[in-house]
Structure 1
Amino acid sequence: MFEYLAANEYPGRGIILGKSEDGRAVFAYFIMGRSINSRNRIFEVCKDDIKTKAFDESLLSDPSLIIYSPVRVFGKNTIVSNGDQTDTIYEYLNEQKTFEDALYTRTFEPDAPNFTPRISGLIDIENGLRLKLSILKSDNGNESQSLRFFYNYDNPKCGEGFFIHTYKENGDPLKSFEGEPKKVNLKGNIDKLTESLWNSLNTDNKISLAVRYIDISTGKYDQVIKNKLEGM
């Protein structure tokens, strides 16, 4: 995974879900950007949730699509996504509806000509560990058609994860991720995984990274946040 990321200067935003070697649920979420508006962001922790925030409010030109909650916790469910569909999923779970129900009300982002995919994940520790990933994308840039893909992983192996990201590679326009989520190894503790991921992301384009290891029986977690602008 780290070599794969290091060879791709712009995978966009990415979600990894899985299980650590010591049996905890894992998520990692990173954001990248090419414009000043996009790069002017940090992750901010709000209790169990995470929000994106403008680092310098004077440079914020358009908050749509870049200011949102990538992580929210609902009971024993942790929601991770690359947009405000996090809130949609949260609201649907609160109404005793499903992850899939929520995402059938959404589509890819309206940022022509890229039509950035909406990627979403769910960690459910109600009974053991169940993981869900989804990508909603255009049909090769055709905005009249939405392609919806859902992936379910019950009781993943220790040290195994699944990785999905928004863009295939850098370009203009940006092409959407293709294929199934990539199976990846999740070796080592949270600090090792965080550092390896952070160091694999392109130095110019990376913005923020959040990694969380969640105890499946108690819901307690360890978390590490990396913000490029706070480290400068």
Structure 2
Amino acid sequence: MATLVDVVGKCEYPGRGLAIGRDSDGLPFAAYWLTGRSPASQQRELVVSAEEIVVQELGGGGADELRHYTAAIRTEDWFIVGNGTHVSELAGTHADCVDLQVALRNIDYEPDPPIRTPRIFAGAVVEGPELLDVVVGSARSYSADQVQHPSLFLRRSEEATAGVVTTYSGTAAQVTTDGYPSVVSVKVEWESLPDLLWSRLDPSLRVALVVIPLLTDSFEGSILRAR
């Protein structure tokens, strides 16, 4: 099984990526990272509050929903992370007890032709050190008017493993859309991941990264890395 660190560094331009799972000690965590090619994409930051993590423009300038959005939402017993405004939509439907895999079917890929970037997300129920009903998936373009919704469901996340998905898998010069979730191994404690993952992202493209402990019902204790 590939490791999370290897998957994050397997390509030059992963776009945006996320992981959710349990570390080598069995502690639950999530990670979210941003890379960008354009100056506008690189002028972003992750802002952590108690129950949300927001991607916003450096300096608090004008918003663009393709680049600025709520990336993660936490409640007392569940967590959702993703790369766009669909995170808030999925959080709302999940609060109404709609299964995340069912709710995913109503999500479209990003309106950014010709790339048609996948919308990725992960969600789970958090019960102490357990992650239950884990869903990792995406809405990706099959053709100009068809959407695929590949998803991975784990009734229980096993120790030292994580589900992971990225928007791209190519280079900055030749963007290749991805959006296919997979399971990877996590051979370290979650506190080691920020430096390990950050070091595997291309320095000219990396924007920000956050690794989030999920033992508490807030995002306090998250570890950020930024340009």
- Matched with 1:96 is 97
Q: 5 Å matches for 1:133-172?
A: 133-139=136-142, 142-170=143-171
> In the TM superposition, what is the alpha-carbon distance from 1:195 to its structure 2 partner?
0.6
The answer on 1:44 being equivalent to 2:37 is: no
| Structure 1 outlier segments of 4+, above 4 Å | 218-221
> In the TM superposition, what is the alpha-carbon distance from 1:94 to its structure 2 partner?
2.1
Conserved? CA contact 2:101–2:135, under 8 Å: no
The answer on 1:129 being equivalent to 2:127 is: no
DSSP 3-state at the match of 1:56: coil
- Matched with 2:193 is 193
The 1:29–1:169 alpha-carbon spacing in structure 2 relative to 1, beyond 3 Å, is same
Conserved? CA contact 1:119–1:134, under 8 Å: yes
User: Deviation per CA, 1:192-214, whole angstroms, max 9, x where unpaired?
Assistant: 11110010001011111111122
Give the Cα separation in 2 of the matches to 1:122 and 1:178.
15
User: Deviation per CA, 1:137-173, whole angstroms, max 9, x where unpaired?
Assistant: 011xx22110111211122221111211001212566
- Matched with 2:70 is 69
Conserved? CA contact 1:12–1:33, under 8 Å: yes
List gaps (5 residues or longer) in structure 2: none
- Matched with 1:112 is 113
User: Deviation per CA, 1:78-102, whole angstroms, max 9, x where unpaired?
Assistant: 1000111110011112222221233
> In the TM superposition, what is the alpha-carbon distance from 1:105 to its structure 2 partner?
1.8
Give the Cα separation in 2 of the matches to 1:126 and 1:193.
22
Conserved? CA contact 1:214–1:222, under 8 Å: no
User: Deviation per CA, 1:173-204, whole angstroms, max 9, x where unpaired?
Assistant: 6221165x233222222331111001000101
Q: 5 Å matches for 1:30-41?
A: 30-41=33-44
The 1:183–1:204 alpha-carbon spacing in structure 2 relative to 1, beyond 3 Å, is same
Aligned partner of 1:157: which letter?
E
List gaps (5 residues or longer) in structure 1: none
Paired residues in the alignment total 221
Give the Cα separation in 2 of the matches to 1:171 and 1:207.
14
- Matched with 1:182 is 182
Aligned partner of 1:226: which letter?
R
The 1:99–1:4 alpha-carbon spacing in structure 2 relative to 1, beyond 3 Å, is closer
Identity %: 23
Deviates more, 1:149-158 or 1:37-46: 149-158
Query: Quick one: which of 31, 56, 77 aligns to 1:53?
Result: 56
Give the Cα separation in 1 of the matches to 2:10 and 2:118.
21
Conserved? CA contact 2:138–2:179, under 8 Å: no
Deviates more, 1:76-85 or 1:100-109: 100-109
Conserved? CA contact 1:119–1:166, under 8 Å: yes
DSSP 3-state at the match of 1:204: coil
DSSP 3-state at the match of 2:92: helix
DSSP 3-state at the match of 1:72: strand
Give the Cα separation in 1 of the matches to 2:172 and 2:202.
15
- Matched with 1:15 is 18
DSSP 3-state at the match of 2:107: coil
The answer on 1:222 being equivalent to 2:224 is: no
Q: TM-score, normalised by structure 2?
A: 0.88
Q: TM-score, normalised by structure 1?
A: 0.87
Aligned partner of 1:92: which letter?
T
Conserved? CA contact 2:55–2:67, under 8 Å: yes
- Between 1 and 2, higher relative CO (CA 8 Å, sep ≥ 6) is seen in 2
